Amino acid sequence: MAKKVKIEHIDLLLQTLATATGQSRDHYGFGIMSERVGGTITKKYLYESLQKQMEKAAKQEVMVLSLMPNKLDEIAKYMGYGDFDKMIEHLESPIDPTLLSCTGTYYSYVRRSIPTGAVYQSPVQITQESGKIMFILKGPDRSYRGELTLSKGCLFCLMQSEDGKSFYHVYRIAGVTSPKVLQGVFSGILTGQEPIAGRTVLIRKEEKFEEMKNEEIPVDELEKSGDKEKQYLAIYFKEFSKNNLQINKSITYRIDDLSLEQH
Strands 166-172 and 195-205: unpaired
Q: Are 37 and 78 in contact (CB under 8 A)?
A: yes
pLDDT of 25 above 90: yes
pLDDT of 19 above 60: yes
The mean pLDDT value of the chain amounts to: 91
Helix axes 84-92, 69-78, angle to 10 degrees: 60
Classify residue 20 by burial, with Cβ atoms within 10 Å: 0-12, 13-18, 19+.
Answer: middle
pLDDT in tens, 153-176: 999 999 999 888 899 999 999 989
pLDDT of 233 above 60: yes
Residue 13 has a pLDDT of 94
SS3 for 158?
strand
Average pLDDT over residues 6-30: 93
Q: Is the pTM of this model over 0.95?
A: no
pLDDT of 241 above 50: yes
Distance CA 46, CA 31 (A): 8
SS3 for 207?
coil
pLDDT in tens, 89-122: 878 777 888 998 999 999 999 998 878 889 999 9
Give 47's pLDDT tier (boundaries 50, 70, 90): very high
Give 37's pLDDT tier (boundaries 50, 70, 90): very high
Average pLDDT over residues 18-43: 93
Amino acid at 207: E
- Range in 128-132, 137-141, 147-151, 216-220 with the lowest mean pLDDT: 128-132
Residue 246 has a pLDDT of 84
Residue 261 has a pLDDT of 66
Residue 262 has a pLDDT of 56
pLDDT of 253 above 90: no
pLDDT of 245 above 50: yes
